[in-house]
Structure 1
Amino acid sequence: MGSSTALRELQRELENRGNDLSKLQKDIAKNHQVRKKYTIQLGENELVLKELDLLNEDANVYKLIGPVLVKQDMAEANANVRKRIEYISAELKRLDATLQDLEDKQNSKKDALLKLQQRIQSVQAGKSKA
């Protein structure tokens, strides 16, 4: 009777840890989606910066605000794009650190799950011998 109660407890714990692992995997997938979005934005902004660098100092630069093109100062446009690149790069670094942490936690949870499954198997093996 005691071993079947212990087995149920272990199976309940296995289910809880499995749910925790599933949540972590969803967080990792979400992190990848956000990183992809920022990586695309970084590429776009770097392209804009290259284009701005090709222009003369007195060239007209326009910024799209809603459906309207608004004239913008060249130095201001350049500074804004550089700030955006700096911000996106910082966010990507933060996301990388978060991803590393999530992956470490995921590996730890996988190891714990494996050990728990082995314990359940040994309890079941012990039951079948009795």
Structure 2
Amino acid sequence: MSSSFALRDLQRDLENKANDLGKHQKEIAKNHQLRKKYTIQLGENELVLKELDLLEEDANVYKLIGPVLVKQDLAEANANVRKRIEYISAELKRLDRFIQGLEGEQNSKREAMMKIQQRLQSIQAGKAKA
């Protein structure tokens, strides 16, 4: 009788861990999407910086603010883009560390699930022999 309780408890534990793993995988996917967005923004800003570097010092630079183009100083535009690149790069590094941690936790959760599955199989094999 006790083996059926243990079996039921293990099955419930396995189900809970599977649900937890599913949530974890969604969190990882969400953060990968965010990382992709930042990577695209970084590429766009690096391209803008290259374009700004090609301009003469007296060139007119305009920034789109809502529906209006506003004239901006070249040095100010350059500084703004560099700050944006710095910020995005820092966010990418932070996200990479976060994702790496999540993936480590995911591997631990998978290992725990495998151990529970092995225990379940050994209990079921013992019942089959009996």
User: What TM-score comes out, normalization by structure 2 length?
Assistant: 0.98
Give me the whole-angstrom Cα distance separating, in 2, the residues matched to 1:6 and 1:47. 61
SS at match of 1:109: helix
SS at match of 1:71: strand
TM-superposed deviation, 1:67: 1.0
**Structure 2 runs not aligned, ≥5 long:** none
CA-to-aligned-CA distance 1:85-115 (integer Å, 9 cap, x gap): 0000000000000111011111111111011
SS at match of 1:63: strand
- The aligned residue for residue 118 of structure 2 is 118
CA-to-aligned-CA distance 1:54-103 (integer Å, 9 cap, x gap): 00111000000111100001111000000000000000000000111011
Q: Which amino acid aligns with 1:33?
A: Q
State how 1:14-53 maps to structure 2 within 5 Å: 14-53=14-53
SS at match of 1:127: helix
- The aligned residue for residue 100 of structure 1 is 100
Give me the whole-angstrom Cα distance separating, in 1, the residues matched to 2:4 and 2:129. 14
**Structure 1 runs not aligned, ≥5 long:** none
Number of residues paired by the alignment? 130
State how 1:35-74 maps to structure 2 within 5 Å: 35-74=35-74
TM-superposed deviation, 1:25: 0.5
SS at match of 2:56: coil
CA-to-aligned-CA distance 1:8-28 (integer Å, 9 cap, x gap): 000000011111111110011
Question: What root-mean-square deviation, in Å, do the aligned CA atoms of Structure 1 and Structure 2 show?
Answer: 0.6
